[in-house]
Amino acid sequence: MNTMQYISTRGQTEPMGFQDAVLTGLAPDGGLMIPASIPDVSDRLGHWRTLSYQDITFEILRLFVDLPDPDLKDLIDRSYAPFRHPEIAPAVEVGPVHVLELFYGPTLAFKDIALQFLGNFFEYTLERRNSLLNILGATSGDTGSAAIHGVRGQERIHIFMMHPRGRVAPLQERQMTTVLDENVHNLAVEGTFDDCQNLMKAIFRDLPFKQRFSLGAVNSVNWARVLAQIVYYFSAGLYVMDQRGAANVSFAVPTGNFGDVLAGWYAARMGLPIRRLVLATNENDILARFFSCGEYSMGAVVKTISPSMDIQIASNFERYLYYRLGEDAAALREAMERFGREQRLSVPVGTEGVVDPLFVAGVGDTASTLATIRRYHEEQGYLLDPHTAVGVHVGEQHLEDGVPMVCLATAHPAKFSEAITDAIGEPARHKILDALEGKPTRFEPLPSDIDAVREFIAQHALT
């Protein structure tokens, strides 16, 4: 059993094991939990090339978790049993790129890959500790439904999921609000996703309230989310390099909260030969601007056809910034306090004007996103969802001879029927989503007010 310890980016939380770090979610000092060290697996890649997705998951997770090997294997097998493709996350060659299809889970989104595991992990740990958990989350779309489907019906868990009212795709909203299990509470908050995320973080900082109601997190502030996503970089990267006889590989990642691309950064640190991480944003371009000029400055949230990326404050950026500042927790605290006051921070840029040689960044606006969907449908017979199309559009700008480009497909196009219709003249369909039509829904409208959210939790939480 692994003894990896976890520390907070802000340096004022006692180190803890994996189970405690995952149940804690956001660190008590307001920081994010990270592993105390990053293992180097470069000498194992030859063997891993021969493994199934589940077996690569086991080999990676066992480096980070404090569970007996048989229990970990069982959790992994149960987590991926509901997936509708035998390879779990296949990489398909489409024109000049490979598309990594991450939408074969129960809610047709990449979040299922981590949240099916996290839901089973919560059930496993709470049963052994005879404990209860109240999950508080915020979603711009896919996290909410994936988290809800990961824990629905569990006796030891209630989930409170905030979404910005009227700012998620209708089918994304229906996937959440048609789940009527007693342990599921959908909160439709007036405002943006950033408002929901700020409410969540503020409530987690209220330590007496957090402890009284045993609050935990499923957003990508939870380390288990990032950890489970590291796996498909190795799985797809090794497969595509073998297929193309390449020495390294690049990934284009549609990015909102920085969790998915951060998993790629960890994969590179662990020894996967990644040439470039291509960070792709929509018009909400705070991260693209940072990797272009070194300044992280907040703007107004723009509503787009890729709503899961309509984010200005990327919660996982703090993890990256911790490493970028030399793993100096005091410097990180100072930077985050400055950002809280001034809504901006900056880091030194290298002599060649490069913030980080691993990253390149770009923007896919609405026009280019629709054009990319239309072009791939007409020329390749392949349908991209709008988030994936943002990644493909930016990824195409960074193709290099001899370096395959893997573009992460974060959701099934049928979840965004309106955008697909705008692009190709007809909607995309999926039987799972068609089955939601006409089903009863349940949600609680709430103002963007911390007291209102706290009161609702207090009235409905497991205690």
Q: Give which of 265, 298, 257 is closest to 281, Cα–Cα.
A: 257
* Full-model pTM: 0.95
- Give the residue-averaged pLDDT of 413-421: 94
* pLDDT score, position 297: 94
CA distance 165 to 186: 11
Confidence of residue 200 (pLDDT cuts 50, 70, 90): very high
Say if 217 falls within a structural domain.
no
| Comparison of pLDDT for 308 and 84, the residue scoring more | 84
Per the rule left: phi > 0, alpha: psi between -120 and 50, beta: everything else, 130 is left
Q: By residue range, what is the domain housing residue 350?
A: 91-108+224-430
Cα distance between residue 40 and residue 2, in whole Å: 15
Q: How far is CA 303 from CA 154, 284, 343, 370, 446, in A?
A: 34, 9, 20, 15, 20
Residues 109-148 pLDDT 10s = 999 999 999 999 999 999 999 999 999 999 987 889 999 9
Please give the pLDDT value at position 220. 87
> Over pLDDT 70: what percentage of the chain?
100
pLDDT greater than 90 at residue 328: yes
Give how many domains the chain has, as a whole number: 1
Task: Return d(Cα 232, Cα 390) in angstroms, integer.
Answer: 20
Q: Which amino acid is at 41?
A: V
pLDDT computed for residue 240 by the predictor:
98
Contacts of 378 (CB under 8 A, 6+ apart): none
Residue whose token pair is 């409410």: 199
pLDDT at 141: 76
Report phi then psi at 359, rounded to 5.
-105, 140
198 found inside a domain:
no
**pLDDT given at position 22:** 96
Catalytic positions, written as ranges: 111
pLDDT at 152: 96
Q: Return the pLDDT at 353.
A: 79
Residue 25 resides in a domain: no
Average pLDDT over residues 222-241: 97
Q: Which pLDDT band holds residue 308 (cuts at 50, 70, 90)?
A: confident
pLDDT tens-digit series, residues 430-459: 999 999 999 999 999 999 999 999 999 999
| Rg (the chain; Cα; Å) | 21
Q: Are strands 184-189 and 444-446 parallel, antiparallel or unpaired?
A: parallel
Residue 338 lies in a domain: yes
Instruction: Answer whether residue 1 shows pLDDT above 80.
Output: no
CATH code, 422: 3.40.50.1100
Question: At residue 374, what are phi and psi to the nearest 5 degrees?
Answer: -65, -45
Question: Per the domain annotation, does 252 fall within a domain?
Answer: yes
State yes or no: pLDDT of 39 exceeds 80: yes
Mean pLDDT across the chain: 95
Asked if the structure places residue 76 within a domain, the reply is: no
* C-alpha to C-alpha distance for 18 and 2, rounded to whole angstroms: 9
Q: Phi and psi dihedrals of 192, rounded to 5?
A: -105, 175
**Local confidence band at 313 (pLDDT 50, 70, 90 cut-offs):** confident
pLDDT per residue over 172-181, tens digit each?
A: 899 999 999 9
Residue 310 lies in a domain: yes
Higher-scoring residue by pLDDT: 351, 173: 173
CA–CA distances in Å: residue 366 to residues 363, 386, 393: 10, 9, 11
- Nearest CA among 16, 46, 49 for reference residue 33: 16
Question: How many angstroms separate the CA atoms of 100 and 120, rounded?
Answer: 24
- Torsion angle of C-alpha atoms 448, 298, 327, 4, degrees rounded to 10: 40
Residue 240 belongs to some domain of the structure: yes
pLDDT at position 123, please? 95
Average pLDDT over residues 351-369: 93
Please report which confidence band the pLDDT of residue 91 belongs to, taking 50, 70 and 90 as the band edges.
very high
Q: What does 341-368 look like in DSSP terms, one character per residue? A: HHSEEE-PPPTTS-S-TTEEEEE--HHH
Checking 203-208 for CB contacts under 8 A at 24+ apart, the result is: 203/136, 203/450, 203/453, 203/454, 203/457, 204/25, 204/26, 204/30, 204/136, 205/26, 205/30, 206/454, 207/28
How far, in Å, are 88, 121, 143, 349, 406 from residue 114 at the CA level?
12, 10, 10, 33, 19
Provide the token pair at 312: 């200005």
Residue 124: its H or E element: helix 111-129
Q: Which two tokens stand for residue 292?
A: 């272009």
Q: Rounded to whole angstroms, what are the CA distances from 124 to 131, 146, 371, 404? A: 11, 18, 46, 39
For 222, other C-beta atoms within 10 Å of its C-beta total: 26
